Chains A and B, each alone.
Chain A
Amino acid sequence: MNSQTTETLTKYAQNKYKYGFVTNIESDRPKKGLDEEIIKFISQKKDEPEWMLSWRLACYKKWLKMSDPQWANLKFPEIDYQDIYYYSAPKDFEEKPKDLSEVDPKLIETYNKLGIPLEEQKVLAGVAVDAVFDSVSVATTYKGELEKLGIVFCSISEAVKTHPELVKKYLGSVIPPGDHSFSALNSAVFTDGSFVYIPENVKCPMELSTYFRINAEETGQFERTLIIADKGSYVSYLEGCTAPQRDTNQLHAANVELIALENAEIKYSTVQNWYPGDEDGKGGIYNFVTKRGLCKGKNSKISWTQVETGSAVTWKYPSCILKGDNSVGEFYSVAITNNFQQADTGTKMTHIGKNTRSKIISKGISLGQSQNTYRGNVSFLRKADKARNYTQCDSLLVGNKCGAHTIPYIDSKNNSAIIEHEASTSKINEDQLYYCRQRGLSHEEAVSLIVNGFCKQVLQELPMEFAVEAQKLVSISLEGSVG
Chain B
Amino acid sequence: MTLENNFINHSKEYIFLDNETLSNQRDKTFNKIFKKNYDKKNNESLKHISISDLSNFDYFYKPKNEDSKVTIIDKYNYEIRVVNGICKNYEDDNIKIRNLTNLDFKSFLNQDNNNLDDIIIDFNKIFLNSGIFFNIKSNSKLNIRLIHNTSDNFTIFQNNFINFKKKCEVQLEEYFNLTHNSINNINYNTNIEEGALINHNIFQNFSNSNKLYLTSNTVCEKNSSYNQNTYNFSDGFVRNFHNANLNGEFANASLKGCFFLKDKNICTIKTNIIHNAEHCVSDQSYKGILNDHAKANFYSNTFVSDNAQKTEGYQLSKGILLSDNCSFFSKPELRIFADDVKCSHGSTIGPVDESALYYLRSRGINKNEAMKMIISSFIEEDLINLDNNIAEQIIYNLSIYLNSLEND
Contact = CB atoms under 8 A, between A and B. Distances in A.
A403 B341 CA distance: 12
B351 A416 contact: yes
Measured as residues with beta carbon below 8 angstroms from the partner, the interface class of chain B is 35 or more
A52 B220 CA distance: 62
Q: Which 9 A-B pairs have the closest CB atoms?
A: A415-B321, A418-B350, A397-B339, A421-B347, A424-B344, A413-B327, A406-B334, A412-B349, A425-B343
A426 B342 contact: yes
A70 to B, nearest CB: 8
Contacts of A400: 306, 309, 337-340
A280 interface: no
Given A404-B334, A408-B332, A408-B347, A415 B324 contact: yes
Interface in A232-277: none
A71 B44 CA distance: 12
B32 interface: no
A425 B336 contact: yes
Contacts of A397: 336, 338-339, 341
Interface in B315-367: 319, 321-351
Contacts of B343: 424-426
A413 B338 CA distance: 36
A101 B336 CA distance: 53
Contact of A414 (B324, B340, B345): B324
Majority SS at the chain A contact face: strand
Contacts of A1: 339-340
6 contacts: A400-B338, A408-B345, A411-B328, A415-B351, A423-B332, A427-B339
A399 interface: yes
A400 B343 CA distance: 15
Nearest to B344: A424
A47 B349 CA distance: 52
Interface of A: 1, 71, 382, 395, 397-427
Interface of B: 41, 306, 309, 319, 321-351
Contact of B336 (A405, A408, A417): A405
Nearest to A371: B337
Contacts of A399: 339
Contacts of B347: 408, 410, 419-422
A426 B350 CA distance: 28
Contacts of B338: 397, 400
A357 B198 CA distance: 44
B327 A427 contact: no
Most A-side CB within 10 Å, residue of B322, B339, B350: B339
Nearest to A425: B343
A418 B342 contact: no
A426 B341 contact: yes
A395 B338 CA distance: 12
Contacts of A419: 347-350
Most A-side CB within 10 Å, residue of B322, B329, B334, B347: B334
Contact of A427 (B306, B324, B340): B340
Given A406-B334, A422-B345, A423-B334, A398 B329 contact: no
A30 B325 CA distance: 56
A414 B321 contact: yes
Contacts of B333: 405-408
A401 B349 contact: no
Nearest to A403: B337
B348 A398 contact: no
B317 to A, nearest CB: 8
A416 B353 CA distance: 10
Contacts of A422: 344-347
Contact of B321 (A403, A410, A412): A412
A46 B345 CA distance: 50
A146 to B, nearest CB: 44
A402 B339 contact: yes
Contacts of A414: 321, 324
A418 B346 CA distance: 13
B350 A417 contact: yes
Given A415-B321, A423-B334, A398 B344 contact: no
A398 B336 CA distance: 12
Nearest to B315: A423
A411 B330 CA distance: 6
B346 A403 contact: no
Nearest to B320: A415
Given A411-B327, A411-B330, 11 more contacts: A401-B306, A402-B339, A404-B334, A405-B335, A410-B330, A410-B331, A410-B347, A415-B323, A418-B350, A420-B348, A422-B346
A241 to B, nearest CB: 30
Nearest to B353: A418
Contacts of A425: 334, 336, 341-344
A411 B317 CA distance: 12
Nearest to B339: A397
Nearest to A421: B347
B295 to A, nearest CB: 9
A413 B325 CA distance: 7
A408 B331 contact: yes
Contacts of A420: 346-348
A414 B334 CA distance: 26
Given A1-B339, A397-B341, A411 B350 contact: no
Nearest to A383: B324
Nearest to A367: B339
Contacts of B350: 412, 417-419
A53 B125 CA distance: 55
